[in-house]
Every structure is written in C-alpha cells, then in structure tokens.
A and B are shown apart, each in its own frame.
Chain A
Amino acid sequence: MFLRSKHLLGTKDLQKEEIELILNTAESFEEVLEREIKKVPTLRGKTIVNFFAEPSTRTRTSFELAAKRLSADVVNISGKSSALVKGESLVDTARTLESMRVDAVVVRHRAAGVPHLLSRVGNFSVINAGDGMHEHPTQALLDLYTVRKRFGNLRGLKMAIVGDILHSRVARSNIFAFTKMGIEVVLVAPYTLIPADVEALGIEVFPSLKEVLSEVDIIYLLRFQLERQEETFIPSLREYSEFYGLGSAELKNCKEGAVVMHPGPLNRGVEIRSEVADSTISLVQAQVESGVAVRMAVLYLLLGGVKK
C-alpha cells in the first residue's frame, strides 16, 4: 500500500488506511531508534530542504533528525537567512529549489496555503510543517501514534481539545485525524476562541473544562498563543488559566487512566501547571519522542521506493 499523494499537506486529505500505514511504518522506525546505530541507508542520495520561515525548535530538529537517520542530506533555510527578505517571491524560491534538484521541502510558514502553493510549482514532495492557522499534519500523526502506544487502540476513545482553537493549526489537524480514527473529539474553549464553522463538523463545544473532565480519556491542552493576542479574546490570562488551565486540583476529577497531552512549547502556569506537566499522566515527553519515528515514516513513504 502507498500514500496516494506525493505531498503531505494536511490530515484532512488523508484516508484512514493511509494514517494506519504511517503509524505502522513509524513502529518499525521506532525500533531503529532504539539501536546503537540509529541510522538506516533508506533515503541515501535524497535531498531534503527544511524551509522554516517561522520559529521552531522541536519540529525542525525532529524533521532534521528524521531525515538524517534515513541517510538523506538535509539543508536548512530559515526565514531570516533566505532570499525572501530580499523580496524573492515564494514561487521563485520554489523554482530555485527545483533547479537544485531537491527531493522534498519541509515547510513552515505563517501564511496558510504556502505548502499548497509550493506543491503546485515544484516537482519535489512538499511536507507541511505548519502553515498559519491551517494545518500541522505531522503533529497530529505523532499525537495519534503516542495515543495508540499508550492505550493500545484508538477507536472508542474520547478526547477534549482545550484552549485557543481559533488560532491553532494543531487543533485543526488533530480534529480531522482523530475523528477519522474513531476517536470522539470535543472542544473546550471560550466562545471567542472557537472558529465559526466548527459546528458544521458536528463537534460539541463546552465553555469550561470542568464539564467534560470526568468523561475524557485524553485532555489535549493547546498552547495559549500569547503572540496572537493583539485583539482581546479573553478578559485576562488569570481568568483563562482558571477556566482552561490544568493543575493538580483538576486532576482529581479526571477519568481513571486519562492522559494529558500538549504540542509544546509549554506555557507553564497558563494552560498547564508544572505539577501536571511533569506528572506521570503527562505524555508531553512521549509526544516529542514519537516525533522522529513518525516523521521518518512520512519521509520514507513519500520519498522511498519505486512506485510501480
């Protein structure tokens, strides 16, 4: 079985079987990462460009490690150091990369749709590593992988995504991906931070965490995006933390076996308090750990192989 597209632009376009293929392949790569020599020659000779026009530590490092552990060559371009600051258009950047015969471009950009644009211009594979408020598919895939590893299965679980849904590409990708795999998703957020079209997806919305805490297996806390708060969406950070933050007091009302997830970076004391972030119900570290194996699987399935 193959992925149908040579690009990974969002989880919205993925079929359930494709997601399963990625997760199963990631399992094979996890074994590779446990070896002393954490490297296989699978993508030898392929060139992958990491094009990050927005800041990132974990995603960029994770993609770079994934590519290197598959023996691909990696080139990093950041927003500030690229010719974009000299006024080069994205289309011209894509053509430049195409002329240099790169095989894949991993792109993060503050504008939604940039990966899609690149995928139409170049003949390389494009992997979306986060575009504006649109999608961040590999985050959703590694989250699914982490959940599957912890619970053994996906179907029948219930997850609450908590926080700034409106500005969150992670929330969007996770809603599409988790629902496809049979997980019930509910949203918890102030109404100002809920996208207008969310009811069309048939997803329930709750105004405070207390109302759903005892029913969900996965509490997925989003990062409160302090940099996007130039408009006033909430009365105060303290009030936000009161209604949507998770501390040890709230944990007492959790379902047994429930887990807490967060895409990082953490705002300790805002959406998550340290006593939760560092507790045994937190999968935050496990999520980061899954990242490399899942991204290896994505790169391998998009770039490896002679497709007959």
Chain B
Amino acid sequence: MRFKEKARVMDEATMRRTLTRIAHEIIERNKGAKNLVIVGIRSRGIYLANRIAQKIKEIEGVEVPVGELDITFYRDDLTVLSNPLVQKTHLPFDITDKDVILIDDVLFTGRTARAALDALMDFGRPATVQLAVLVDRGHRELPIRADYVGKNVPTSRREEVRVNVSELDGEDSVVIGEFEGEG
C-alpha cells in the first residue's frame, strides 16, 4: 500500500499562525493562563502541546506545565501497539482542580478523545477539560466536539489526514491523501 498525497491543507507558516491563534483563544476563554495545564495525546499531540505552551509563554509570560498522555490501554478497539516504540504517560503535575487543555493532532471518530478523557480521570478530577485539535476532519462516532479547532477539513472516510511535525517528520504540514492498492 502506498500513500498518495492529494492536497496540502497547511504549510509551515499556516501551522504556526494557526497554533498562535489557538493559544490566543485558550488564554481568552480561560481569562489568562494561571490555572492551565496542557496535555498532549500520543506522539504528535505532544509536539503541538509544547508549541502551544511556548506561544502562551510568549503572549502571557506564564509557564504552563505540559504533560504527555498515552491512551493505548484505554482504547475501545484495543489495538495492540503496532510499533515497538515505548509510549508512556507522563504527567509531572496534579491535574485536580486545573483547567486541562487536551491536545490532539486530528479529531476524527472521537474515540481517541473519549479514551483520553477516561485516562485523564484516573489521574485526578480537573476543574474543566477542553479539547484543542489542529484538524477536525468530521465523521464523529461519539458526541464529542473540540473547543479549539485549527482548521475544519471535509474528508471522505477513505482518505487519510496526516499531520507532520518537523521534530518527527522533517517538516510542518498537514496533507490529505489516500492509500492506493489493497486494503
């Protein structure tokens, strides 16, 4: 199976501006950043979380703690880790009574967000949980919506949305594509 790119919906500059906008929205909605903690989901959400925390620091001068959440053990489809990479949850702070900003790269069926909420609740009782995503591609299977959306991208179910981050993929971009061949 080969991934065939069909469209680029975000490049490096747009991604930077989008994350800056999300950071502003988070601060506006929460009237500052004092009670915030940011939690990134899985690999790419973590990189986005760090960038948003950096933006908030630039804007508000407040250092917001960033944590990492691995939701594999909470998934309802029980996908066994398909890569040997060890992924751990790392929340070096107490989330109880905090406003938690949960960050993921793509919002699709909503099942990842649901699993993330379950995982989060095992660590404490946050005051609020807000969801920020870089891309909302539709096709929800659960009653879940994002509080902050970078870009709404209409897609067909067969398509795949890829968020690339420079730390892992060598560039910042969002592309839509399709797998060609079997499957």
Contacts and interface: CB of A to CB of B under 8 A. Distances in A.
B86 interface: yes
A71 to B, nearest CB: 9
Contacts of A32: 73, 89
B154 interface: no
A25 B81 contact: yes
B166 interface: no
B118 A41 contact: yes
Contacts of B168: none
Interface string B40-84: 000000000000000000000000000000101110011111111
Contacts of B79: 305-306
A191 B102 CA distance: 62
A86 interface: no
A28 B84 contact: no
Contact of B80 (A24, A36, A40, A307): A307
- Using C-beta atoms within 8 Å of the partner chain, give the interface range for chain B: 20 to 34
Nearest to A39: B122
A41 B73 contact: yes
Contact of B74 (A2, A25, A42): A42
A116 B53 CA distance: 54
Contacts of B123: 35-37
A276 interface: no
A166 interface: no
Given A35-B122, A40-B73, A42-B74, A28 B80 contact: no
A10 B92 CA distance: 38
Given A27-B88, A28-B86, A31-B89, A304 B74 contact: no
Contacts of B87: 28
Contacts of B118: 41
A229 B63 CA distance: 66
**Interface range on chain A (Cβ under 8 Å from partner):** 20 to 34
Contact of A1 (B77, B83, B88): B83
A304 B75 CA distance: 10
Nearest to A305: B80
Interface string A276-308: 000000000000000000000000110011110
B78 to A, nearest CB: 5
Contacts of B73: 28, 32, 40-42, 70, 300
Nearest to B79: A305
Contacts of A300: 73, 80
A40 B80 CA distance: 14
A24 B85 CA distance: 8
Interface string A224-261: 00000000000000000000000000000000000000
Interface string A17-41: 1001100110110011001110111
B124 to A, nearest CB: 8
Nearest to A301: B80
A16 to B, nearest CB: 12
Contact of A306 (B74, B78, B84, B122): B78
Interface in A85-125: none
Contacts of B80: 2, 300-301, 304-305, 307
Contacts of A31: 88-90
B120 to A, nearest CB: 11
A159 to B, nearest CB: 24
Contacts of A1: 81-84
5 contacts: A28-B72, A40-B73, A300-B80, A304-B78, A307-B80
Task: Rank and list the top 6 A-B pairs by shortest CB-CB distance, nearest first.
Answer: A305-B80, A40-B73, A42-B73, A37-B122, A31-B88, A24-B86
Interface of A: 1-2, 17, 20-21, 24-25, 27-28, 31-32, 35-37, 39-42, 70, 300-301, 304-307
Given A31-B90, A40-B119, A306-B77, 16 more contacts: A24-B84, A24-B86, A25-B81, A27-B86, A27-B88, A37-B122, A37-B123, A39-B122, A40-B122, A41-B73, A41-B74, A42-B74, A70-B73, A301-B80, A304-B78, A305-B79
Interface of B: 70, 72-74, 77-90, 118-119, 122-123
